[in-house]
Structure 1
Amino acid sequence: MVVVSSLGPLRPLHPLHAILLAFPFPLFLAALLSDLAYRSSLHVQWANFSSWLIAGGLLVGAFAVLWALVNLFRPATRGGRAIAYFVVLLAMWILGLVNALVHAKDAWATMPEGLYLSAVTALLALVAAWIGYSGFRTEGVA
């Protein structure tokens, strides 16, 4: 399905890419909430939950980043929006990896860096999902 806007035709994500993009935001947001729970209760299990949620977000996010990279080289999806989408996804994944390394330390040592990194990673995942689900400009009508 191609939607025509005032700036040109928009093409939605491939359904499989949309499924992959659906996972990082909830997983990174849950990691942020788990970090907040750890900060308020100091129960180590909340830090363990965060580590697993971040690992899941990284796993699925890696496939979304790879798909976005492949889309950069396709002639149908050219333009700044596709580049911005890839850059935001890549930044989300890299900060998520740093966050996973921070969460690999002792639970007490993860605060406050882990909390801040979880917040930024969740925000980047939200921005990536927003850009991805709003569609990309195409050069021609399919």
Structure 2
Amino acid sequence: MSQTGPAARPLQTTRSILLGFPAALFAGGLISDIAYLRTEVIQWTNFSAWLIAGAEVFAGVLLAWSAISLIVQWRSPERTSALLLVGLLAAAFVIGFLNSLQHSRDGWSSVGTPGLVMSIACTLLALAAAWIGTAQAIREGAR
């Protein structure tokens, strides 16, 4: 958001709070993938599938929000970080969607190496997006 007044701060704060959800949910999915690979208890893949689905919901909402914010602030100095945030969220969303498809398979094939690698990638992308988005909100709040 290019507005720097008091009205923009609640929107930035809300977005910063919401950025924590995909990071936490993707990380939870990664942890449940690791638990499944260690124990072979099928319920862990169910947990992982639901956590990834929840992360996808929040990532999709935040991707739309950040894309609109990028369009609004296209000429501002914050454009680079806003573009990076949209890119990170888009990558997390796409890889997370593919990860959801991977986790919808049966048994061992649901996680394995591809599922674990995608879970790691989604977690790292979501954490980076949360870092960038929160730093951007802090910079805009300081003005």
The reply on whether 1:125 has 2:126 as its aligned counterpart is yes
Paired residues in the alignment total 131
Counterpart in the other structure of 2:44: 46
What code does the residue aligned with 2:81 have?
A: R
- Give distance in 2, aligned partners of 1:90 and 1:12: 24
- Give distance in 1, aligned partners of 2:49 and 2:107: 10
Counterpart in the other structure of 1:84: 84
**Secondary structure at the residue paired with 2:72?**
coil
- Give distance in 2, aligned partners of 1:81 and 1:122: 19
- Give distance in 2, aligned partners of 1:96 and 1:35: 14
Report if the CA contact (8 A) 1:12-1:135 is conserved: no
Report if the CA contact (8 A) 1:30-1:53 is conserved: yes
TM-score normalised over the length of structure 1? 0.84
Counterpart in the other structure of 2:58: 60
Q: Per-residue CA shift, 1:1-40, capped at 9, x if unaligned?
A: x6xxxxxxxx896222123212000100010000000000
In structure 2, stretches of 5+ residues that fail to align are none
Q: In percent, how many aligned pairs have the same letter?
A: 37
Higher strand share: 1
Higher helix share: 2
- Give distance in 1, aligned partners of 2:95 and 2:114: 12
In the TM superposition, structure 1's runs of 4+ consecutive aligned residues that sit over 4 Å from their partners are none
Deviation at 1:60? 1.1
Counterpart in the other structure of 2:136: 135
TM-score normalised over the length of structure 2? 0.83
- Give distance in 2, aligned partners of 1:12 and 1:121: 27
**Secondary structure at the residue paired with 1:23?**
helix
Q: Aligned-pair RMSD on alpha carbons? A: 2.2
Counterpart in the other structure of 1:116: 117
What code does the residue aligned with 1:68 have?
A: S
Report if the CA contact (8 A) 1:25-1:126 is conserved: yes
Report if the CA contact (8 A) 1:23-1:60 is conserved: yes
